[in-house]
Structure 1
Amino acid sequence: MDLRRTDLAMEARELWQERAGQAAELPGVQAEERERAGMPVTVVRVLDKTGERALGKPRGTYITLTLEGVETRADGAFPRAVEAVAAELGALLEQVDLDRGPVLVAGLGNRAITPDAIGPLVHDCTLVTRHLVGRMPEQFGHLRPVASVAAEVMGSTGLESRELVASVCQSIRPCCVIAVDALASRSLGRLCRTVQLADTGISPGSGVGNHRAALDQESLGVPVLAVGVPTVVEGATLAADLLGADCLPQSAPGRDILVTPRDIDRQVADLSKILGYGISMALQPSLGLEELELLLS
């Protein structure tokens, strides 16, 4: 049995094709590749129960951006990455009736563990406007009302992330939730270099092997869009990938080891800013990157 672990739909599709043969047709799944702001984009659509069983992913759309040049801070890579995230998230937001209420951004994770700090740091980089729109509509009525919460781990709050986000949803009645969290990849080459966006919700803590109750439309009562960045590879999965092994036994060593880049603190800080700005631009299309930097600085 193939127990190599990944949270990325595009990698789950790759694993299926490796087992079945590259020429095999994957039933219940559609895939396409394109570009956005010069960044490669892979779209995987799980269409039915057959596709769900094949990939182990719920039905929906999974968009994976490869952020070329961001790791090396190449010239122009940051604004292009922000533009790509904003555009792809904006396309998913077209499914949502944004006039029904504010948007809630939920940053999931643990600030104390750097690979799991993506969500709380994105919360810090998100433009919140709900209070401004409500109290000073003359000056800020042109902005979309946005609220944000850092739903950190149960060990520091005593609450499941879903409990905390659900309570906020009951209070402010958002039109949708954008949940941000760390993910796991099967490949070192994709760590901190890809962003997955999905319209299927998210399971908090999946990236660091601490699966909690899912945040999705069924549990929260509103559409949940997920934004995630792979920051870790499971040790056993990495070994299988490097060795070219098709599968690993359940008892294989390395299941409790997570591998992350040496400069993870810098990369997480950069990616959190890209995601926070990209989410803000998707929600406030009238604002440019320079305006956002002024408002968030």
Structure 2
Amino acid sequence: MTPDDQPFRPISVFTDIAIEARDIVRGDAHQEIPGVRVEEHQARGVRVTEVEIFEESAERLMGKPRGHYITLDVPTFKERDPELRQRLTGMLTDQLKTVIPQDPQKSILVVGLGNWNATPDALGPRVVDRILVTRHLNQIVPEDLRDRMRAVAAVAPGVLGTTGIETLDMIRGIVDQTRPDVVVAIDALAARNLDRLLGSVQIADTGIHPGSGVGNRRQGLTETSLGVPVIAIGVCTVVQSISIAQEAVQLLVEELAEDVTLYKILREMTPAEQRGLVEEVLGSRFQDLMVTPKEIDVLIDDMADVLAEALNRALQPQLDRQEWT
């Protein structure tokens, strides 16, 4: 088989979402990528997709470290339905309990990545503001509560552009001093699909690389770099504008292909050829332009509430809700 005959191509676009990377690499191939396992199911109105990358070849193709990625999709989250928020909170709590040790003796450091001055990037700091921080309470709470309460610390370190310090350097120093058993890092993510804007939450056991989704890759927070396991939680808050252009072309093809000669031509092009056309025409102008919803202020707060409540439940499984609110 020659390189041109191979069904898979290494990913060449920015996306933080593992299932999107898998779909892009697969393209029109009607087979799974070697070294990747995917399982999907739906519960309580939330679609859950689990992606496991377990071979080095798949890691190279997808541009994602080997490990497990769990994506919870709720495209209608932007409608601000309180019942849906509660269902998502419950599902997210259940998923977090599978990746975060439930032993209350295991201490946790929650890291809220991002720039609190830029709303689409402020998710991490806003979640940290809502986390039940208990590490300093161990000696002053009643003994019954002490036995059931896990030590949790939280920090929002800011970004290199406002602090002048690499996030990894800051977190490594905190880890060295406080010695948590696990780090949970929260960050805003970039996606390719518009439906994922404030509608997809990804959990990964591979750590996180701040800024990778927008082409501004910083040093990663991983078990290798910090010396402790790192669980990453991310929410899509931005989409590349060029992705919107590509989606618009596909919609035009679907709607108008029977009526207009131009669209008949476009319809005969494969999705990969359509993407290539858009990138050739618009890539140099729109490659770095990111788009976010106009309601981003309230949506970020809504999602921060969901993530914080789910984390508090998962981190303090032996506490009643009344004890941590």
- SS in structure 2 at match of 1:171: helix
1:42-191 aligned at under 5 Å gives the runs: 42-67=49-74, 69-94=76-101, 99=105, 101-136=106-141, 138=143, 140-141=145-146, 142-191=148-197
Residues of 2 paired with 1:44 and 1:233: CA distance? Answer: 21
Bigger radius of gyration among the two: 2
The residue identity in structure 2 corresponding to 1:222 is: V
- SS in structure 1 at match of 2:41: strand
Residues of 2 paired with 1:277 and 1:133: CA distance? Answer: 21
Q: Which of 309, 313, 317 is matched with 1:277 structurally? A: 309
Offset at residue 240 of structure 1 (A): 2.5
Instruction: Give the conservation status (yes or no) of the 8 Å contact 2:104–2:316.
Output: no
Partner of 2:200: 194
Q: Which of 239, 254, 270 is matched with 2:286 structurally? A: 254
Deviations 1:200-227 (A, max 9, x none): 0001123444321100000000000000
Deviations 1:120-152 (A, max 9, x none): 001011111111124435253111110000021
Task: Give the structure-2-normalised TM-score.
Answer: 0.83
List runs of 5+ in structure 1 lacking aligned partners.
Answer: none
Instruction: Give the conservation status (yes or no) of the 8 Å contact 1:186–1:241.
Output: no
Deviations 1:148-194 (A, max 9, x none): 00021122222111111111101110001000001000011110011
Deviations 1:235-269 (A, max 9, x none): 22332233242333595321121111011111111
Residues of 2 paired with 1:63 and 1:193: CA distance? Answer: 14
Instruction: Give the conservation status (yes or no) of the 8 Å contact 2:14–2:215.
Output: no
Deviations 1:1-34 (A, max 9, x none): 864321100111111222x42x222110000011
Instruction: Give the conservation status (yes or no) of the 8 Å contact 1:97–1:175.
Output: no
Q: Which of 219, 225, 235 is matched with 2:241 structurally? A: 235
Deviations 1:40-96 (A, max 9, x none): 1000000110210221100000000013543212241222111111111110124x8
List runs of 5+ in structure 2 lacking aligned partners.
Answer: 1-8, 251-273
Deviations 1:89-113 (A, max 9, x none): 110124x8764x4100000000111
Instruction: Give the conservation status (yes or no) of the 8 Å contact 2:75–2:196.
Output: no
Instruction: Give the conservation status (yes or no) of the 8 Å contact 2:14–2:212.
Output: no
Residues of 2 paired with 1:291 and 1:207: CA distance? Answer: 37
Instruction: Give the conservation status (yes or no) of the 8 Å contact 1:4–1:236.
Output: no
Residues of 2 paired with 1:177 and 1:137: CA distance? Answer: 27
- Aligned pairs, how many? 289
Residues of 2 paired with 1:176 and 1:28: CA distance? Answer: 27
Over 3 Å counting, the alpha-carbon distance change for 1:189 and 1:290 in structure 2 is: farther
Partner of 1:5: 14
Residues of 2 paired with 1:178 and 1:27: CA distance? Answer: 30
Over 3 Å counting, the alpha-carbon distance change for 1:200 and 1:222 in structure 2 is: same
Residues of 2 paired with 1:46 and 1:98: CA distance? Answer: 30
Partner of 2:226: 220
- SS in structure 2 at match of 1:152: coil
Partner of 1:14: 23
Identity of aligned residues (%): 41
Identify the structure with the greater helix proportion: 2
Give the alignment's Cα RMSD to 1 decimal. 2.1
Instruction: Give the conservation status (yes or no) of the 8 Å contact 1:183–1:230.
Output: yes
